[in-house]
Structure formats: structure tokens, C-alpha cells
Structure 1
Amino acid sequence: MAEIFDLFGDPVPANWGQRGRPEHVPNQQNRNRVSLLVAMGWSNARIASALFITQPTLRKHYFSELKFRDVARDRLVAQVGVKLMDGVNSGNVSAIREFQKYLERNDLMLYGQTRQPEKSVPAAKPAKAEKVGKKAAALAAAQQPDAGTPMGELMMRRQQAATAH
């Protein structure tokens, strides 16, 4: 029996028009969606709800996309790289810039740093003086009188006399 297709080219389920809900028919667009969502780290429950299907239906029809969960992100990144490389080969300047950023991100992932020459490290900054509170600053100022004023001169004489004895 020949398979029947609707106006959009999708196969029509066998029980179409009969009692009960027709079976979900996976198409390439939904397969691509599932692959993308798996690569983005979505859970099966979240993917199923995005496609308006149940989790058992997701596992039944999209098991081949779900089994590549471990490498899905790498496959997606590689696909983006291929598209960028196509743009670079065609001479697209913005694609060249994006491809350079793509390479830098890849190098960061592989080596933990960019392969660009290291920038000169500035000299170590001197340690900052410990901050003193208002009361401690006032107490320290009281111990160091200003010799330029008559009161400060008198206080200095008294301090010197106290330390001499």
C-alpha cells in the first residue's frame, strides 16, 4: 500500500479521520528541533513539552536523536564551524571575524588560554595601608601634637617630660 502525503509533504497517519487521536508522525523539521534542543542541554520533559508530545512519544520516535546526547553539543559546534568556514571561503568579511572568534573560543576550550602572545604583567602594586577608624585616628592624632601651635608645643613638652621620667 502506497503511503499518503498531505499538502505539506508529511505522511498522513494510518488512522487519520478515525476514532482516537492520530499517531504522532515525526518529520525532518522536528528531528532537527530535537537535535538542537538536545545539543542545548534540554531535558526530555522540556523537549517533549516544546513539541506538544509526551515523553514516551519522544523516546519512541526520536530515540536516534536522543542517543547522541553526549556528543550533540560538539556536533552542533562543528556544524556552526562548517557554516562559518563556508562564509570565510566565499570571502565574507563578517564571517572571517566570527570565525576568528570561533577559533579563539575553541583554543580557550582546548588550552585554557588564547594562543596570542601574553601581555606584559604590570609590576606588583604596593600593599595598601590598613584603614584606621575615626576613633583610632583621633587617638593617634592626640599622641602626635602639632608643634606649630602654642597648645601643640605645650603638649609636646609634657609628653617629652613624661617619657624622660
Structure 2
Amino acid sequence: MSWDLDLLGDPIPEGHGRRGRPPHIPTDENRRKVLLLMAFDKNEEQIAAALSITPPTLRKHYFRELRARLEAKVRLEAKLLASLVSEIDKGNVSAIDKMFKRLDRHDLLTGVVASKPAKTAKPPKKGKKEQAIADAAVAHEGNEWSSLVRH
């Protein structure tokens, strides 16, 4: 069966030019588009518009992809990480840097903290008057007036 292609590279179905709208033919490329758009949290109307079909047609031909909505983002991220690791294996320094940044961001999101020294609690901040009194108490230290001022 030989298919002719339209200007956008989509196959022209049999019966094109007859009355009514030609039937939609799902392709692997369109299936990938559906998964990719779902990974970016697009709704069915937006996905259907991107494929130039109606939402019922989308549900009819791409029901398996639509059921996998929850895993679409994870699948895309896994594919991207796999390609990043393959670039790291080739010695790509930029890919190594990106992987370290991803790991740091992941650690921040999950609450994993590397072995860092514990932070000490800061003393409470003083008001203007309290700070002026504290500064006046030690103003004589380290200058020629220190011998004249009584403690």
C-alpha cells in the first residue's frame, strides 16, 4: 500500500477529496508527540489541537498514551538522563557538570544533605538603642582612651 504525503509530511488517506473529513491515521511520530505533550501537563484539548484533530478522535486513537499520563513525565526524564549518561561516558565535561547540578537539585528536593558542618544559631538581632549601649560599653577598647576609662 503506497501512501502519498501532504505538505507537512503526514500520509494522505484513501478517499481524500471526497465528502466528509478524511479519517485520522495515528503514526509513531504523533504517538511520541502525545506522550511529550502529556509530560508537560497539556490537557486533551491542547494535545488534540497540536495534532489537528478533535478530542474524541484523540481519545479514540491514542487511548493507551492517554492512560499513561502519570508515567509520561517519568519516562521522558529517564530518557533524558540516559542520554546525559551516554554523553558523560564519552567524556563530555558539560554533561558531567549538568549531572552534578541535577544531583544537587535532587538532593535539595528530597532533603538529602551532604556532610556539611552544622550551622550555629545566630544571636537575636538587637534594636538600635540596645546596639548603641553595647557599642558604648566597648568603645574605649583598643585606643589611647582605654587607660583613662574606668570599668
Counterpart of 2:123, as a letter, is: K
Quote the Cα distance in structure 1 between the aligned partners of 2:5 and 2:93: 41
Aligned ranges 1:142-161 → 2 under 5 Å? none
* Stretches of 4+ aligned residues off by more than 6 angstroms: none
Code of the residue aligned with 2:45 in structure 1: it is A
- Kindly tell me the number of residue pairs found equivalent between the two proteins: 127
In structure 2, the CA distance between the partners of 1:11 and 1:46, relative to structure 1 (3 Å rule), is: closer
What does residue 113 of structure 1 align with?
Answer: 111
Q: 1:63 maps to what in 2? A: 63
Provide closer, same or farther for how the CA distance between residues 49 and 119 of structure 1 changes in structure 2, counting only shifts above 3 A: farther
2:123 aligns with one of 125, 132, 135: 125
- Equivalent positions of 1:4-83 (< 5 A) are 4-7=2-5, 10-83=10-83
* Structure 1 SS opposite 2:106: helix
Aligned 8 A contact 2:3 2:13 in 1: no
Counting aligned pairs with the same residue, the percent is 44
Question: How far has the Cα of 1:20 moved from its partner?
Answer: 1.4
The one-letter amino acid of 1:118's match is K
Unaligned segments of structure 1, at least 5 residues: 132-165
Could you tell me the TM-score, scaled by structure 2's length? 0.72
TM-score normalised by length of structure 1: 0.66
Q: Which amino acid aligns with 2:126?
A: K
SS at match of 2:12: coil
Residues 123 and 115 (structure 1), Cα distance of their counterparts in 2 relative to 1, 3 Å cut? closer
Question: Aligned equivalents of 2:128 and 2:53: distance in 1?
Answer: 63
CA distance in structure 2 between the partners assigned to 1:119 and 1:21 by the alignment: 68
Q: Which has the higher contact order (CA 8 A, sep 6+)?
A: 2
Could you tell me which amino acid in structure 1 is paired with residue 122 of structure 2? Answer: A
Q: CA deviation at 1:46?
A: 1.5
User: Which structure has the bigger radius of gyration?
Assistant: 1
Q: Secondary structure at the match of 2:88?
A: helix
For the Cα contact (< 8 Å) 1:81–1:102, is it kept in 2? Answer: no
Paired with 1:12 and 1:4, the residues of 2 have a C-alpha distance of 10
Distance in 1, Cα, partners of 2:85 & 2:105: 15
The 8 Å contact of residues 4 and 12 in structure 1, kept in 2 or not, is answered as: no
Taking only aligned residues, the RMSD between alpha carbons, in angstroms, comes to 2.4
What is the distance in 2 between the residues matched to 1:40 and 1:91?
30
Q: Which runs of 5+ in 2 are unaligned?
A: 130-151
Measure the CA separation in 2 of the matches of 1:51 and 1:7.
16
Whole-Å separation in 1 of the counterparts to 2:76 and 2:90: 22
Return closer, same or farther for 1:130/1:69 CA change in 2, 3 Å cut-off: farther
C-alpha contact (below 8 Å) 1:107/1:115 kept by paired residues? yes
